[in-house]
Amino acid sequence: MRILFTLLLALASFGCYAQADYAREQRWADEITPAILVGDPVQLALPAGRKFLGIYAPNSKAQAGVVVVHGLGVHPDWGLINPLRSQLAEQGYATLSVQMPVLAAELRADRYSPLLPEAAARIAVAVKFLQDKGHKKIAIVSYSFGSRMANVLLNQPDAPAIAAWVSIGIVGEYTKPETFKSPVLDLYGEKDFPEILELAAQRAAAIQKIRGSAQIRVAGADHFFNGMDKELVNTVKQFLDRATR
């Protein structure tokens, strides 16, 4: 639990600069929970008591557990997160998609940095949830700004052990990649955002010495993998199959 304590101390130091919009989180939960078709809503909690939504889809023959992390300002069943969490659950994994902290809708990505410690702490709670369900191997599949959140967690010296990290469409370079202890898949689309395409070589160089890591550019895909759910899920599953076997 030391990782959670460290991250929450960092969060407190940022508290005067940004406020997570917990009311907006609740509105997301109220909207999406009745429409969940695969999996069940669960209430997760940080050590201090702050609760947040997860969507847990078990699989009795799961090869591993997978924490699914959405992008900026949305929810754990949004867009491509839905096929990732639901189809991976149908194809041999137990998935837990978790609500990340959000700001008010009008605030841009550059205002989210103060929320990163709480986001990382939530991912750590999700990993423990899956471990408590009996999964010895846990992977993280994160998207866009959610990958930045996962990166913060994995930089911590006492970060929870994971079997693999799939980073989809991360904006910017990886921070402190020397701290990564498991294989990384850097996944992005051929028609992704310019800033993602421009830094592809730097990201590949950052993970090339990590055994089992890879970078894949999906032909024809944009940042949202519109119309390419099947290709996205298949690519992620193939990597997870190798990394968690």
228 alpha-carbon distance from chain centroid: 19
pLDDT at 176: 97
Nearest in space to 111 (alpha carbons), one of 194, 196, 14: 14
| Domain map (residue ranges) of the chain | 2-244
Q: What is the CATH number of domain 2-244?
A: 3.40.50.1820
Residues 21-62 pLDDT 10s: 899 999 999 999 999 999 999 999 998 899 999 999 999 999
Between CA 157 and CA 216 the distance in angstroms is 28
Q: What is the pTM of this model?
A: 0.91
pLDDT at 107: 63
Residue 12 pLDDT > 80, yes or no? Answer: no
CA angle, 21 as apex, 140 and 25 as ends, to 5°?
55
pLDDT at 73: 87
Give me the chain's average pLDDT, please. 91
Between CA 65 and CA 44 the distance in angstroms is 16
Between CA 164 and CA 117 the distance in angstroms is 21
Residue 218 pLDDT > 90, yes or no? Answer: yes
pLDDT at 111: 76
Residue 193 pLDDT > 70, yes or no? Answer: yes
Residues 153-174 pLDDT 10s: 999 999 999 999 999 999 899 9
Residues 99-149 pLDDT 10s: 999 887 766 767 778 889 999 999 999 999 999 999 999 999 999 999 999
Break the chain down into helix, strand, coil percent, rounded to 5: 40, 20, 35
**Average pLDDT of span 221-237:** 98
Residue 65 pLDDT > 90, yes or no? Answer: yes
Phi and psi angles of residue 139, each rounded to the nearest 5 degrees, phi first? -120, 160
